[in-house]
């Protein structure tokens, strides 16, 4: 990461430029797809090792601009590894690890955000496989991507079993009928967020990942992993904010002494550090459960607790950095405002902290379901 200093990330953000050099370096050095099994060309590592790598990426000041560029093509891996066919795994996994195949996540729709069961994208059988039509939104990396993992309805929604009737398909982003449009946004501009338009896109039968109608449940393995990686990245972002603030509070002299000598400066930084230590322990515990008890009924609650704790701690640390740096926090050179805005994004994506707390209440506290 020393080859990619703060100026590199500030530049990618300002130019809305994908960090291609970093992505290729990350892949070349073997960090892309740490959890891919050795029989498919990967290192055979654990989620905790992928999370540790991404936390360090975030902690250099790359924050989400850096992390999203390399975690976006990893989010579909748990679903593929667990539910994909042997041929699919041998075809795709080695290419993902080498950085030759960039697959994005196509789940969210304009009228179906966290209420995934209400998606309208449909896949219908055709003579050669499937025909897919619909729209996806907030797809990270589609302009850079080669393919997208698309969740589509293959059967009508049934209130008695809302999660069934959806299936996962691997769709080439250059196929006829696929349209991509970048969404202008406030932050994390090194990786474009996009709308995907699917107009009678033909895919072969082997594009189906896992069992027809069970795609929502296949997806859960990926969604829990996504939230844990994001939580680890949040800890890294918070670490960078605390370290940057501590250094600046020591160097910046006002009224004849370092500003860090004032408790009004010290306490927010110290509190942020304490909160990050606590959140980091929760993230480690959640990852350990994910690895040891993947089918636990408490999994969703623990994972979401880690996500809430880490992202709140990271934003508080970045807020303290903004206050510590004063007017300089708005200078692009320092990168404080960029990282602050990316930390704020983590509190609402890929799931809002309020909805995450619903899982905590329901699954860990046995409070009646609220949604």
Domain count, the chain: 3
Q: What is the pLDDT of residue 163?
A: 86
- Which of 212, 245, 264 marks a domain boundary? 212
Asked if residue 267 and residue 191 are part of one domain, the reply reads no
Angstrom distances, CA of residue 310 to CA of 11, 107, 229, 352, 358: 27, 24, 11, 13, 17
pLDDT tens string 293-302: 988 889 999 9
Packed helices 263-292 and 215-251: angle between N→C axes, nearest 10 degrees: 150
Reference 216, options 167, 179, 261, 253; nearest CA is 167
Whether 81 shows a pLDDT value over 90: the answer reads yes
- Which of 75, 98, 121 marks a domain boundary? 98
Asked if residue 164 and residue 54 are part of one domain, the reply reads no
Q: What is the CATH number of the domain that holds 161?
A: 2.40.110.10
Asked if residue 116 and residue 63 are part of one domain, the reply reads no
Whether 221 shows a pLDDT value over 80: the answer reads no
Q: Quote the CA–CA distance of 89 and 191 in Å, as a whole number.
A: 26
Asked if residue 262 and residue 164 are part of one domain, the reply reads no
Asked if residue 350 and residue 224 are part of one domain, the reply reads yes
Whether 267 shows a pLDDT value over 80: the answer reads yes
First to last CA, the chain: 42
Q: What is the pLDDT of residue 295?
A: 84
pTM of the model: 0.95
Full residue range of the structural domain in which residue 58 is found:
6-98
Asked if residue 292 and residue 197 are part of one domain, the reply reads no
Name the DSSP letter for residue 184.
Answer: P
Considering just the CA atoms, what is the radius of gyration of the chain in Å?
Answer: 21
Asked if residue 278 and residue 360 are part of one domain, the reply reads yes
Q: Find out whether 71 and 52 touch, Cβ atoms under 8 Å.
A: no
Q: What is the CATH number of the domain that holds 89?
A: 1.10.540.10
Whether 115 shows a pLDDT value over 90: the answer reads no
Asked if residue 359 and residue 226 are part of one domain, the reply reads yes
Residue 1 lies in a domain: no
Residue 371 lies in a domain: no
pLDDT tens string 56-66: 999 999 999 99
- Which of 212, 246, 268 marks a domain boundary? 212
Name the DSSP letter for residue 294.
Answer: T
Residue 317 lies in a domain: yes
Asked if residue 260 and residue 347 are part of one domain, the reply reads yes
Across the range 84-103, mean pLDDT stands at 97
Residue 177 lies in a domain: yes
Q: What is the pLDDT of residue 158?
A: 85
The tokens describing 194, both together, are: 């996009």
Asked if residue 267 and residue 135 are part of one domain, the reply reads no
């Amino acid at each position: 990461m020393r080859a990619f200093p703060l100026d590199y990330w500030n530049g990618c953000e300002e130019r809305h430029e994908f960090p291609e050099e970093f992505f290729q370096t990350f892949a070349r050095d073997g960090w892309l797809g740490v959890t891919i099994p050795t029989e498919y060309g990967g290192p055979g590592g654990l989620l905790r090792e992928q999370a540790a790598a991404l936390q360090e990426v975030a902690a250099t000041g790359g924050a989400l601009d850096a992390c999203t560029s390399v975690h976006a093509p990893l989010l579909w891996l748990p679903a593929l590894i667990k539910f994909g066919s042997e041929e699919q795994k041998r075809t795709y996994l080695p290419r993902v690890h080498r950085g030759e195949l960039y697959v994005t996540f196509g789940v969210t729709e304009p009228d179906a955000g966290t209420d995934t069961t209400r998606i309208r994208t449909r896949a219908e059988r055709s003579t050669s496989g499937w025909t897919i039509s619909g729209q996806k939104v907030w797809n990270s990396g589609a302009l850079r991507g080669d393919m997208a993992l698309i969740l589509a309805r293959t059967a009508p929604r049934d209130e008695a079993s809302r999660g069934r009737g959806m299936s996962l398909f691997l769709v080439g982003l250059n196929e006829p009928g696929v349209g991509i449009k970048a969404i202008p946004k406030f932050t994390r501009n090194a990786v474009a967020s996009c709308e995907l338009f699917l107009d009678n896109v033909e895919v072969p039968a082997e594009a189906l990942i896992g069992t027809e109608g069970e795609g929502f449940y296949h997806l859960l393995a990926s969604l829990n992993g996504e939230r844990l990686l994001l939580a680890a990245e949040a800890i890294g972002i918070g670490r960078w904010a605390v370290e940057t603030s501590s250094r600046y509070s020591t160097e910046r002299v006002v009224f004849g002494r370092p500003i860090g000598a004032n408790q009004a400066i010290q306490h927010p930084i110290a509190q942020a550090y304490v909160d990050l230590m606590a959140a980091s322990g929760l993230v480690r515990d959640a990852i350990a459960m994910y690895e040891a008890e993947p089918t636990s009924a408490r999994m969703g609650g623990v994972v979401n607790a880690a996500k809430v704790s880490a992202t709140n701690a990271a934003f508080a640390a970045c807020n303290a950095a903004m206050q510590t740096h004063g007017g300089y926090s708005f200078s692009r050179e320092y990168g404080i405002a960029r990282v602050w805005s990316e930390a704020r994004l983590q509190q609402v994506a890929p799931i809002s902290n309020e909805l995450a707390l619903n899982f905590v209440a329901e699954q860990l506290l046995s409070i009646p379901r609220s949604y």
